[in-house]
């Protein structure tokens, strides 16, 4: 029985990890759909409190905090997430290089589908939330117009920051960690580090993830408990505005692949001019529909978690 529950939890973790490798559905959204979100946030919060005690020099409190973590819940989940990242990162990187426009269309559709999922997470939507979505979306859209493309050879500090931001987004319902990495130009670098097993860069991103979890989990619990719909409205605005960087034909041309890193030669929203257009559109529609259907028909699993 315990093995079956651990295997099911591993599968849920794999689904979360797969969703966060692709800049589309948030791992937090998948956790919410599968009925394990509260357990995930609770375990993270308990673990972060234990780390806080360690930082303060309270060794006994740190050990007590670790004992309070539901490891039977957390370990198979984390193993599934890690397995998904290791298995899928190389496939995604290769696809980005060889089929850039198609992948951009796929990502575009995933985010569109995620917007519909996140919209349904609003408990009591009103005009104020609509205004927040519009304002945040417009600001994000304009700011991303200044994006110059992926960052090559990032500094150690930037890798730590990337890890912190990505893990925070990963546990939020509505926006994925890899999507944040794409927004800040670090997606290709982190994906390549995982695929090529560049331990130094992976370690720096991991350190950032631990820091981000420790600092953010308590704040997240507070915000979601007290300002749930406002948080979701901000996330929706970010997702709408960020579609700019996923448009498959910036400035009328396709995304250009160079080696193992993709570059975006512009952030315009022109129609394709000689670039492939049928497959990206088909993939966008299909991926959006799949995300929406999964969110509608997936069964919660609180009783197994």
Tell me the pLDDT tens digit for each residue of 89-141. 778 767 777 777 888 888 888 888 888 887 887 889 999 999 999 999 998 88
- Checking if the pLDDT of 265 tops 50, the result is no
Q: Which of 22-26, 129-133, 138-142, 197-201 shows the lowest per-residue confidence on average (mean pLDDT)?
A: 22-26
Task: Give the C-alpha separation, 166 to 180, whole Å.
Answer: 6
Q: Which of 66-75, 116-125, 181-190 shows the lowest per-residue confidence on average (mean pLDDT)?
A: 181-190
- Confidence at 186, pLDDT banded by 50, 70, 90: confident
Residue 258's DSSP bridge partners are 261
- What letter would DSSP give residue 255? P
* Tens of pLDDT, residues 276-294: 788 889 999 998 898 888 7
- Checking if the pLDDT of 159 tops 80, the result is yes
> What is the pLDDT, as a whole number, of residue 50?
82
Q: Which of 33-47, 84-98, 213-227, 290-304 shows the lowest per-residue confidence on average (mean pLDDT)?
A: 290-304
Task: Give the C-alpha separation, 63 to 61, whole Å.
Answer: 5
Q: Where are the domains of the chain?
A: 2-297
What is the rounded average pLDDT of the residues 247-266? Answer: 48
> What is the pLDDT, as a whole number, of residue 304?
47
Asked if 48 contacts 214 with a C-beta cutoff of 8 angstroms, the reply is yes
Asked if 174 contacts 235 with a C-beta cutoff of 8 angstroms, the reply is yes
Task: Give the C-alpha separation, 133 to 229, whole Å.
Answer: 11
Question: Which has more pLDDT, 142 or 26?
Answer: 142
> What is the pLDDT, as a whole number, of residue 293?
83
> What is the pLDDT, as a whole number, of residue 5?
84
Report which of 287, 277, 284 is spatially closest to residue 252, judged by C-alpha positions: 277
Report which of 115, 104, 93 is spatially closest to residue 175, judged by C-alpha positions: 115
Phi and psi for 261 in degrees, rounded to 5?
A: -130, 130
What is the rounded average pLDDT of the residues 81-96? Answer: 81
> What is the pLDDT, as a whole number, of residue 262?
42
> What is the pLDDT, as a whole number, of residue 131?
96
- Per mean pLDDT, which of 37-46, 140-149, 175-184, 283-292 is the most reliable? 283-292
Output the average pLDDT for the chain.
78
């Amino acid at each position: 029985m315990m093995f079956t529950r651990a295997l099911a939890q591993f599968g849920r973790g794999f689904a979360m990890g797969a969703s966060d490798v692709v800049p589309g559905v948030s791992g937090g959204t998948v956790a919410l759909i599968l009925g394990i979100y509260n357990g995930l946030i609770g375990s993270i919060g308990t673990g972060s409190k234990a780390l806080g005690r360690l930082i303060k020099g309270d060794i006994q409190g740190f050990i007590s905090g670790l004992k309070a973590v539901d490891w039977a819940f957390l370990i198979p989940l984390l193993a599934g997430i890690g397995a998904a990242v290791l298995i899928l990162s190389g496939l995604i990187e290769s696809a980005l290089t060889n089929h850039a426009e198609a992948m951009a269309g796929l990502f575009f559709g995933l985010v569109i589908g995620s917007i519909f999922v996140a919209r349904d997470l609003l408990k009591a939507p009103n005009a104020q939330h609509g205004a927040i979505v519009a304002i945040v979306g417009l600001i994000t859209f304009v700011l991303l117009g200044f994006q110059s493309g992926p960052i090559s050879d990032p500094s150690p500090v930037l890798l730590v920051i990337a890890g912190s931001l990505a893990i925070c987004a990963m546990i939020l319902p509505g926006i994925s960690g890899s999507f944040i990495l794409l927004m800040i130009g670090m997606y290709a670098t982190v994906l390549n580090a995982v695929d090529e097993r560049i331990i130094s860069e992976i370690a720096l991103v991991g350190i950032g993830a631990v820091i981000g979890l420790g600092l953010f989990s308590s704040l997240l619990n507070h915000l979601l408990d007290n300002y749930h719909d406002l948080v979701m409205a901000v996330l929706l605005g970010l997702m709408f505005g960020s579609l700019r960087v996923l448009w498959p034909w910036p400035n009328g041309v396709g995304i250009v692949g160079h080696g193992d890193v993709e570059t975006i030669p512009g952030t315009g929203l022109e129609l394709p001019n000689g670039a492939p257009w049928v497959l990206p559109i088909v993939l966008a529609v299909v991926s959006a529909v799949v995300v929406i259907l999964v969110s509608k028909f997936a069964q919660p699993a609180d009783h197994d978690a």
